Structure 1
Amino acid sequence: MCKGLATLPATCLKSAKDIKHKISFLLQKPEPQAADQKQMKDKTAAAKRVPTTAEVEKWKESFSHVMSSEMGRMVFASFLRSEFSEENMDFWVACEDYKKTAPSKLPTRAKQIYQQYIAADAPNEVNLDAATREETRQNVENACWSCFDEAQKMIVTLMEKDSYRRFLNSKLIQDLCQTQPTAAREKKEKKNCDCAENRQALTGGA
């Protein structure tokens, strides 16, 4: 008879639960008013699982792998939150959503993003140099899909050169890496158990 998770040390189970809790913590932050409902559902689904070994290893290879992964962005955003710099990821997401905005809504949405992240004393002001900030202000006056491109590139560079390096050495990543062998053992034990039960069924029926 397979005991499954009951055979695992309590510390391993606690570690996995801690990781899930850290990722789920992202959902506690209110979404912007213009947030896409599908994005919220995707985040909810992603927060219910622990990243796989392959995913974590990919994130360690390059920052682009982090940003191209929904789970990667969530985990990285969790790290940014611990450093009180989550506005960088929020701005990046806002820019990506903005590129999908209907033409008739571009001016209004552009002003919202500018006031939220770029204007002086903005609630979630990102770190831009004066030239890029002024260029973006002028772009917003004639809103188009590319008006935040330069500002977005600068924030991506900032995250990659600064936060990403600390992310790789963070306790969050270390915890994820330490949790992976447990997940692998669970999968292997389940597979072995299934095989044993199948053999038992065959021999019992012979």
Structure 2
Amino acid sequence: MAWPESVDTLLANKDGLAAFRTFLKSEFSEENVEFWLACEDFKKTKSSTKIASKAQKIYSDFIQADAPKEINIDFHTKNHISQNISEPTLSCFDDAQRLIYSLMAKDSFPRFLRSEAYKELVKKQQNGNQKRWLPFL
């Protein structure tokens, strides 16, 4: 299992991502991974009308003061996004996404690796691998 190596491998794996989200929920910080995923989706947007509406949704969900899933970013980054949200670009959330990624990588991810949720995931993974080989025993 490659998850302990990096947050990237964890976020790219369906089961790993699900377990990480559950862990973040237990810590009341699932907005971080939700914001990161929303930004990943946003960067793939092709239509300019969708760029504006998706940017507005990300802004109202995660960035603006008292947003329902407000992320913890510095004033400068938040202010920069607020000033540019009327004419958003595909990179308008990049700085905030980098900050949140860094927070997850340095803070949440190491705690996740020590958590019961992670231990359960490893156990399930190992059991799944053993079952696969049973017919050959």
Structure-1-length-normalised TM-score: 0.62
**Displaced runs of 4 or more, over 6 A:** none
- What does 1:55-74 correspond to in 2, within 5 Å? 57-74=1-18
> Does the C-alpha gap of structure 1 residues 157 and 181 become closer, same or farther in structure 2, counting only changes over 3 Å?
closer
Q: Greater Rg, structure 1 or structure 2?
A: 1
CA shift at 1:68, angstroms?
Answer: 2.6
1:183 aligns with 2:128: yes
Residues 140 and 173 (structure 1), Cα distance of their counterparts in 2 relative to 1, 3 Å cut:
same
Unaligned regions of 5+ residues in structure 2, if any? Answer: none
Matched, 1:87 2:31: yes
Correspondence for 2:99:
154
1:173 — aligned with what? Answer: 118
Q: What count of residue pairs does the alignment treat as equivalent?
A: 136
Aligned to 1:107: 52
Larger RCO, structures 1/2 (Cα 8 Å, 6+ apart): 2
- Gaps of at least 5 residues in structure 1 are 1-56, 193-206
Partner SS, residue 91 of structure 1: helix
Distance 2:130 2:15 in 1: 22
Aligned to 1:77: 21
The question of 1:96 aligning with 2:52 is answered: no
